[in-house]
Amino acid sequence: MPRLAALLLAILSAAQVCAAQEFTAAEAEAYLEEFTPQCDQGDAIACYNQAYVLHNAAPPAQDLKQARTYYLRACGQTVGLACAQYGDLLVKGLGGPQDWIGARDVYKVGCDLDTPEACQGYGLAILTAGDGQQERDAALPALKKACEGGMTKACYHYGGLHSPDGTQTPDMGIAKDYMTRACDGGLARGCYALGVWIWDGSDPSGTLSMARQLFKSACEGDLGKGCYNYGVTLDEGKGGAVDDAGARTYYKKACDLDVADGCNNYSYMLQVGEGGAQDRAAAQPFMDKACRLDPSRAGCF
């Protein structure tokens, strides 16, 4: 099967990720002995700390149901970050049932307390409720506030909502500004979106060499579609010199990241010996993977 020559132009949606310190069971026990009585005496920060330890303790000390209880208590005492963490547990269904409506409401409380994490959650929760103009307009202020507080996913969404994919009245100046913040903040999807906008003509001010570099940056953030698109630019000499060996390398990385088109193209290059040694036997497993990832593609049975 010949390799594909088209870029993948779909912009990906974001998922919330919370990186946290993990406490051993012994550490958790010691911290809880300190924080529990302080929380019981009305210390809001101690309640937040207690919830955080319960949230991030290693089993068997972890207790997500109790973490919910203490995050909510701290949120009610104007600890905005507690509102954000409680909302995250509701969104993920951890420590109790999933509750997007409850999450949206508690994120709003935290956002009103000027907590960027909560504003980001609030904006995304609104968007999850629907994709109409009303939801878009309601989400924008929260996402902007979160982005200005350093939340790169909020920057990504705020930029995306001003792009041709996000509104019937796009403003590419705003879209590029906020998507650049996302990219510069290390969000691979942001770099990918900027590259796509150049490639599909949404951003006529960009150059193919810029798009090529943006796809490479997205790939360095382990975004498979970024690796695939960077491979295409190397394969076809778009935005720079042709580099068959480089294209082969990046198609392989895209395949490793479960992009079916990357598997297809890497398999083809192995079959014909393009960009490196020919190895037809090694090519077949990559074609098989392409078909597992996308059974509807031509040549898959």
Tell me what the mean pLDDT of segment 212-229 comes to. 98
Predicted local confidence at residue 20, as pLDDT: 52
Domains (ranges, CATH) in the chain?
A: 21-113 (1.25.40.10), 186-301 (1.25.40.10)
- Choice between 295 and 17, residue whose per-residue pLDDT is larger: 295
Whether the pLDDT of residue 26 is over 50: the answer is yes
Q: φ and ψ at 236, to 5 degrees? A: -100, 0
Count of helix runs (H) and strand runs (E) in the chain? 15, 0
What is the band of 103 on the pLDDT scale with cuts at 50, 70, 90? very high
Amino acid (1-letter code) at residue 299: G
Token digits for 173?
């100046």
Task: Rounding to the nearest 10 degrees, give the CA dihedral for residues 219, 274, 10, 297.
Answer: -130
The pTM assigned to this predicted structure is 0.87
**Rama region for 92: left / alpha / beta (φ>0; ψ in -120 to 50; rest):** alpha
Q: For residue 270, give the nearest of 288, 297, 292 by alpha carbon.
A: 288
SS3 assignment, position 31: helix
Task: Rounding to the nearest 10 degrees, give the CA dihedral for residues 294, 15, 181, 221.
Answer: -50
What is the band of 19 on the pLDDT scale with cuts at 50, 70, 90? very low
Predicted local confidence at residue 167, as pLDDT: 78
Cβ proximity of 219 and 212 under 8 Å: no
Predicted local confidence at residue 166, as pLDDT: 81
Cβ proximity of 243 and 254 under 8 Å: no
Q: φ and ψ at 123, to 5 degrees? A: -60, -45
Whether the pLDDT of residue 295 is over 50: the answer is yes
pLDDT tens-digit series, residues 122-168: 999 998 876 567 788 889 999 999 999 999 999 999 999 999 988 77
pLDDT tens-digit series, residues 266-290: 999 999 999 999 999 999 999 999 9
pLDDT tens-digit series, residues 204-219: 999 999 999 999 999 9
Q: Count of CB atoms within 10 A of residue 271's CB?
A: 20
